[in-house]
Amino acid sequence: MWLSQLNQVFSNRELAIGFWILIFILYALSLHNVRAQIPGMLKIMFSRKLVYWYITMCIYYLLMIYILIKIGFWEYRQLKDTLVWFFVTGVISASSAIGKAKDISYFYNMIKENVKIVAIVEFITNLYSFRVIWEIVIVFLIIVSSIFVGFIEHSADYQNRNAIIKNFFNAILFIIGFIVIIHSIRSIILGLDQINVSELIKDFLLPLLLSLMFVIYIYFFVLYAAYEIFFIRLSFKKTIDDNLRGKLKLRILFFCNINIKKVSNFVQNSQVLTSYVTRKSDIKKLFDNYRRNTSREISREGSNIS
């Protein structure tokens, strides 16, 4: 009875994933070392800066949903998928972008990742699932195989000696993927008369639209983080006159604007952290340094390409 009630909200595949997540959490909590670290982790998770991040992210997330409702795209039945997208894709994408996003190309690649053909395959394979017990077995095999393949790929020693083992687990992943795709296609064909095409299209486009809209938030989130880290470093530099520090930051803001690449490269190309700034003319020199060194980099890149 309880399983049928859960099935009204979650698919068998989602229940299987939830089952293994619960097993992992219970196992982790059984370890003394893990339990001892929980207070420290909670303190970090709910630090003031991270709470501000959570608030801004949730506000933007709700704004996206509001826009989708206004254009008649979002429906209440999509609430679960929307929440899953937020915690699995949205939060992870935003946090992983810090430190990795150095220029606009990172965000172009992020968009391409969300619109590639694999998204169609993933959507089709998630439409239909097997019985819960089979899904539990399948998810377990996928997790174990992926862990072994990832471990072997990232270990040069194991990579050379255990190619056969790696191929074995890759074969398991391929067979599982093939079976799931065939099962999904068969289920679609058999239930073709019951498919609501309009809802199907909306469900397929929902995560893609959310991801594309969320890229804007991630961009400005990364931009803010880059400025914050940069300005903190400037605040501790004794070689910069305190009376000129605010003016320098303002000039940098106007110069770099919303260009992440400029912010990322300004420290090195302007030599601001190794220069003395005691007069207004010193500030001008920093920007001259940036333009000159950036031009040299562009020239070197052009000569390497040719």
Task: State mean pLDDT over 105-131.
Answer: 68
> In residues, how long is the chain?
306
pTM: 0.75
Q: What is the DSSP string of 142-170?
A: HHHHHHHHHHHHT-HHHHHH-HHHHHHHH
Nearest by Cα to 263 from 242, 241, 290: 290
Say what the pLDDT of residue 286 is: 84
Task: State mean pLDDT over 3-17.
Answer: 69
Give residue 99's region: left, alpha or beta (phi > 0; psi -120 to 50). left
Task: State mean pLDDT over 52-80.
Answer: 90
Task: State mean pLDDT over 19-23.
Answer: 87
Say what the pLDDT of residue 258 is: 87
Say what the pLDDT of residue 185 is: 78
Say what the pLDDT of residue 48 is: 84
Helix then strand then coil, in percent of the chain rounded to 5, is: 85, 0, 15
Task: Map out the domains of the chain as residue ranges.
Answer: 2-218, 237-305
Instruction: Count CB-CB contacts under 10 A for residue 82.
Output: 18
Unique residue bearing structure tokens 């804007």: 216
Residue 245 to residue 104: CA distance in whole angstroms = 28
Mean pLDDT over all residues of the chain? 80
Task: State mean pLDDT over 32-57.
Answer: 85
Under 8 Å between Cβ of 150 and 248: no
CA dist 104 to 89, 97, 216, 261, Å?
20, 12, 11, 7
